[in-house]
């Protein structure tokens, strides 16, 4: 798998929810928030597991956020996403944390997700 494939796998896994998925910060001030949606951000990629001075793994670090105008779904949908991502080979960390929303109608929850790309 190459770097484009890891991001694509991440997005395709979330597409099972049939909800909008945005790169964090890519919505303009004029965009209206959908009722529910995901955002993601690739925090870093770090080479790891070296053999003969060559990396054999890359560790991908993502933030996944879910926002909704339905407070009950903020927790439940993020935990469903956790299970789907886990089944796809990602490593979710914990049960999430609160994230700030720019809209008073929406609340948000986030989670850190890792993926180990073996070369």
pLDDT value at residue 53: 64
Q: What is the average per-residue pLDDT within 94-111?
A: 95
Note the pTM of the prediction, 2 decimals. 0.90
Q: Which residue has the tokens 């990602």?
A: 90
DSSP state of 28: -
Which positions ≥6 away from 50 have C-beta within 8 Å?
A: 56
Look at residue 23 in the predicted model and tell me its pLDDT: 96
pLDDT at 47: 84
Structure tokens at 70: 């339905």
- In the chain the domains, ranked by start, together with CATH numbers, are 3-118 (3.30.2000.10)
C-alpha–C-alpha distance, residues 36 and 34, integer Å: 5
Distance CA 12, CA 100 (A): 25
Predicted confidence (pLDDT) at residue 89 exceeds the cutoff of 80: yes
pLDDT-based confidence at 101, cuts 50/70/90? very high
* Angle at the Cα of 111 from the Cα atoms of 105 and 115, rounded to 5 degrees: 140
CA distance 89 to 100: 28
């Amino acid at each position: 798998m190459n770097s484009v494939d890891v991001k694509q796998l991440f997005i395709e896994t979330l597409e099972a929810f049939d909800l909008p998925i945005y790169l964090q910060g890519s919505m303009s001030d004029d965009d209206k928030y959908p009722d529910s949606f995901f955002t993601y951000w690739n925090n870093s990629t770090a080479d790891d597991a070296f053999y003969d001075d060559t990396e054999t793994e890359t560790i991908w670090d993502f933030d996944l956020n879910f926002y909704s105008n339905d407070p009950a779904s903020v927790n439940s949908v993020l935990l469903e996403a956790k299970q789907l991502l886990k089944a796809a080979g990602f490593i979710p960390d914990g049960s999430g944390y609160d994230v700030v929303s720019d809209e008073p109608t929406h609340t948000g929850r986030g989670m850190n997700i890792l993926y180990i790309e073996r070369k």
